[in-house]
Amino acid sequence: MSAPDERAVPVNAPSDEEVSATMNKGYAPEVRERLERDAKEIIGRYPRPRSALLPLLHLVQSEDGYVSDDGHEFCAEMLGLSKAEVVGVSTFYTMYKRRPMGQYHVGVCINTLCAVMGGDQIWDELSEHVGVGHDEATPDGKISLERLECNAACDFAPVMMVNWEFFDNQTPDSAKQLVDDLRDGKEPSPTRGPKKLCTFKEASRVLSGLPDGLAGDGPSAAGPSLEGLKIAKANGWKAPEA
Ligand code: FES
């Protein structure tokens, strides 16, 4: 999980109107009951309840598409924390969103290697094409965009992610086509990992520690990541004994 980057991230705090529109609506009883059941399962995995704060923030994000005021209060209540303590954590990490994200949250890596391989150009063209900026969603709620730091996939630069699944070796044109396909309901397959894309809310639920059963689907390593292994095997090289 990455901490904020002041270079890449413009000021993007919700406006006063956005904040007041989301204050204290309260979860419906059946939603609250379901969230409590899931939260108790997660909290039970840790020796101290407060250690479950990060996964619980993902859990409430899976309900609302961002960490709402209700979500902050729910986490505080479940963990015996003050709301200020919860907000202090959720506003530090960039994976917790302060306004609703799209059904498909599209990230463009603009960190060093991806940037020099075209990531900055992809971001500029894609942002203009979609008409939204960093951590903003389209009015129809389908797409949100984020400037991402390194995704540990530099050997496939420039990379993009949709709901945290990889789309490797992108260009400005392929990025725009990818987003157009998502908006048209075509559900393109990630380059690696599961063939089917989940929604942003579903991905948040998985990040809370409640698996969707797809973790082992599809290849996780491929192409350039395996070149060194192939060369070592061809030459009979082995790691030195410890
Ligand atoms: S710089 Fe983009 S994945 Fe590492």
User: For 109-130, what is each residue's pLDDT tens digit?
Assistant: 999 999 999 999 999 999 999 9
Say how far apart CA 216 and CA 166 lie, in whole Å: 14
Q: Quick one: pLDDT at residue 103? A: 97
**Domains, the chain, ordered by start:** 16-90 (1.10.10), 104-199 (3.40.30.10)
Counting beta carbons within 10 angstroms of the beta carbon of residue 99, is it exposed (0 to 12), middle (13 to 18) or buried (19 or more)? buried
**151 close to ligand 1 (CB < 6 Angstrom):** yes
167 touches 178 (CB < 8 A): yes
pLDDT of residue 10: 42
Token readout for 52 is 């479950």
* pTM score, whole prediction: 0.86
Of 4, 85, 211, 65, nearest to 75 by C-alpha is: 85
Binding site membership of 12 for ligand 1 (Cβ less than 6 Å): no
Pick the atom of ligand 1 nearest to 158's CA.
2
For residue 155, CA distances in Å to 73, 150, 162 come to 41, 11, 18
pLDDT for the residue numbered 71: 97
Q: Do 220 and 193 meet the contact criterion of CB atoms below 8 Å apart? A: yes
Mark residue 131 as left, alpha or beta (left: phi above 0; alpha: psi -120 to 50; beta: remaining): left
Mutate to test the pocket of ligand 1, among 117, 150, 164, 168 (most ligand atoms within 8 A of CB): 150
What is the distance in A from the centroid of ligand 1 to the CA of 82? 36
Contact yes or no for 10/123 (Cβ under 8 A): no
**CA of 169 relative to ligand 1 center, distance in Å:** 11
112 touches ligand 1 (CB under 6 Å): yes
pLDDT of residue 13: 59
Distance from the alpha carbon of residue 119 to the mean position of ligand 1, in angstroms: 9
In this prediction, residue 19 carries a pLDDT of 55
| pLDDT score recorded for residue 201 | 98
> Which residue ranges in the chain fall short of pLDDT 70?
1-24
Cα distances from 77 to residues 36, 81, 84, 85, 90, in angstroms, run 10, 7, 12, 11, 15
Which ligand 1 atom sits closest to the C-alpha of 113?
A: 1
| Ligand 1 centroid from CA 107, angstroms | 12
